[in-house]
Amino acid sequence: MEITKIICNKNFQIDKVDSRLFGSFLEHMGRVIYSGIYEPDNINSDEDGFRKDVLEQVKQMNVTTIRYPGGNFVSAYHWEDGVGPKEKRPHKIELAWKSIETNEFGTNEFMKWAKKANINPIFTVNLGTRGVEDAAHYLEYCNFPGGTEYSDLRKMHGVDKPYGIKLWCLGNEMDGSWQVGHKSAEEYGKLAAETGKVMKIIDPEIELIVCGSSLSSMETYPEWDMEVLDKAYDIADYLALHQYYAGQEKGTPGFLAQSLDMEEYIHTIRSAAQVIKQKKKSKKDMKFSVDEWGVWAVPSNTVNNELNEEPWQIAPAISEQIYTLEDALLFAEMQMVILRNADAIKIACQSLLTNISACIMTEKGGNHWLQTIYYPFYYFANYAKGIVMKTMSDGPAYSCKEFPKVSYIDSLSVWNKEENELVFFAVNRDEFSKQVISLQLSDFVSEKVIESISMTADDKKMTNQYNHEAVKPKTVNNAKINNQEVKIELEPLSFNMVRIKIK
């Protein structure tokens, strides 16, 4: 077994973890909403039609933030269709996913659900087929106290107090040719700047997220980001980054190495933002929102595969990815990349919450089960609290086609001062061998190992689809303290967390 040496010094810190980094995403796509979180005739649902079993899992996951209502869906969405008496709401052609939207679930239903789930909302406005005026009306409906057309409309719908929604996305993935109302960077940048200006006149307390590149593989990346920031830097509080990875056919070494691409993507965008800051002589450091991220894995047996092959159905089962152990390991690596950039990334939304690239799967008319990716999210959201540490690492590595040097061990350390513990997370990318970590604590005084968990499986392609308990973390005895060294033995292809009590 080879050894990876990791030095964690008390004085070298990145930044405090923002709780909003543990967000998720709900979009009117497939079964994400209907039979995902909302299913009035399900035995598990409450008086509002919300699935109580899903709500309970959301709370246990410690999801803090949810982005709504899209996604590609939002770029042709009329929010007015989803408010008011349900019996009067129109059924509409939904262009993004070629389905029929009933509008039975809309703004007020979401906010009622959000209160029960104890999450903070991020709303997205339609800058595809609509623009400044519509965004202003939507904000007025949600946040203005009363005495105006749209605030009084909200009151007529039974919501007397304004919601006070603080985070707003100005459109979605406007760099993508797939997007309804796709625009050039110059067109979008100007529209976002004007929309944001008006929205902040109505509510100066809100924060705005502008669209960055949808993927690191976009032909317009990173020029898009620089052009948009050039137009909207003064009004924007965050630049949105989206990133999904597939590529399971690359083989495990290449597949798990893709987190290095994400590191480079974020590094590049941070540098691009710094260039625009200097160009504008601004004193503001741009912050970032990775408000869509995840592993994209559509198996051949998926219902209707990725796209809706039988269009114009209500809530069709599309793109229902089933995740393997291998997928969960890349998912955990992506989460560590985000946390390692905690000084700049303040918001992150795993995509999506239910049924599509989801942590939680539901059976229509039945119960739910948890995917392999649920568990890394759970452990990061519940235990990565405090300060992300800047560590130094040296150990064995491998090479693959895209990356010449990939460490077998990917890790993260978080110092939770309030609980007097150091929490260490790690993924062993090695498919065949155990790896040993020598975690050397400098200026920390360690007392004991509080808990150590490991998630692995006999087969890297194992899922929880049929045996819902097949892939989940187990408590292990793999960590030993010797003075200021913590020695940890990691199983091949495993996700791990070790909690260390410190003085």
Q: Are 243 and 288 in contact (CB under 8 A)?
A: no
Half-sphere exposure of 172 (CA within 13 A, CB side): 25
Half-sphere exposure of 414 (CA within 13 A, CB side): 26
Q: Where are the beta strands (DSSP E) in 102-206?
A: 120-125, 167-170
3-state secondary structure of 268: helix
* First-residue to last-residue Cα distance in the chain: 31
User: Residues for the chain: how many in total?
Assistant: 503
DSSP string, 29-90: STTSTBTTTB-TTSTTB-TTSBBHHHHHHHHHHT--EEEES-SGGGGG--GGGGSS-GGGPP
Helical packing angle, 223-232 and 259-279, nearest 10°: 40
Q: Are 463 and 364 in contact (CB under 8 A)?
A: no
Rounded Cα distance between 109 and 112, Å, is 5
Strands 287-295 and 345-350: parallel
3-state secondary structure of 260: helix
Q: Are 174 and 183 in contact (CB under 8 A)?
A: yes
CA 454 to each of CA 371, 472, 497: distance values in angstroms, whole numbers, following the listed order: 16, 8, 7
Residue from 358, 386, 356 nearest 374 by CA: 358
- Annotated catalytic residues are 173, 292
Residue from 418, 485, 473, 474 nearest 449 by CA: 485
Biggest alpha carbon distance in the chain? 70
Phi/psi of residue 337, each to 5°? -60, -45
Phi/psi of residue 497, each to 5°? -140, 135
Q: Are 26 and 109 in contact (CB under 8 A)?
A: no
Rounded Cα distance between 436 and 1, Å, is 6
Q: Are 355 and 320 in contact (CB under 8 A)?
A: yes
Rounded Cα distance between 405 and 192, Å, is 40
Residue from 221, 230, 235 nearest 132 by CA: 235
